Amino acid sequence: MDILKGKVAIITGGASGIGRATTSLFAQEGAMVAIVDINEELGGLAVKDVEAADGKAIFIFCDVTRAKDCQDAVEATVKAFGGLDILFNNAGIICRADVLTTTEAEWDRVMAVNVKSIFLMSKYAIPHMKNRGGGVIINTSSGWGIKGGENAISYCASKGAVTNMTRAMAIDHGRQNIRVNAVCPGDTDTPLLRDEAKQLGKPEKEFLVEAASRPLGRYAQPAEIAQAVLYLASEASSYVTGTALVVDGGGLA
């Protein structure tokens, strides 16, 4: 359908899960995609999949908690594709522990990957978007960025920060024609979801049954979240900014 024809997008955490599904969808819709991740093997495979479908993608190794890496990733994208229109800040991790059992190192790591990365990537991306006359930033928050959750103090804190950062950035950059929104997925069939089961010491099958306990009676597939991200990235949402779009099968309801 070429909804994003001619657009240049960066997707952090683009080598797997929601990021990879969004990479594939954006490429199908005509975007040139920079896959930003620390997993070179999966990133390379994602590029091959896009190219096999006649799309355009590059992989950029980047630790999104490091300013130099983020700056270099943005500059490499602009050099490869001539500009930047869309930034999907999707990289994220989760630590399933309460405040008593979360270590300082775990807290710092979750905040760095989930929050600091958005600050850094946006800091270096926005000037290039201004040069293009505008752009779109989508941040991955969570249902737990709106309400609390059990045994996930650092994750809930980080995603709450993402949700409110999104609002603040929308206010700051709306006059530059840069829209900023968040997508708030519920439990989604990704490696991250299965890792939660391990962290909690629960059998994976049992944990996935719990994850499906919501009005639609199932957890999401990454491609379903990618469709919501596509909406926020496209002109279909041209008057939408500063919002947190919940895509959770009715879980918060």
Is residue 155 annotated as part of the catalytic site, yes or no? yes
Compute the C-alpha angle 75/76/81, nearest 5°.
100
Whole-number Cα distances in Å, 65 to 68, 158, 170, 222? 9, 14, 22, 24
Backbone angles phi, psi at 16, to 5 degrees: -155, 170
Backbone angles phi, psi at 241, to 5 degrees: -155, 150
Instruction: Pick the catalytic residue from 124, 155, 219, 239.
Output: 155
DSSP-derived letter for residue 188 is B
* Sheet with 244-247, edge to edge strand ranges: 56-61, 32-37, 8-12, 86-89, 135-140, 178-185, 244-247
Question: Would you please indicate which residues are annotated as catalytic (active-site) residues?
Answer: 155
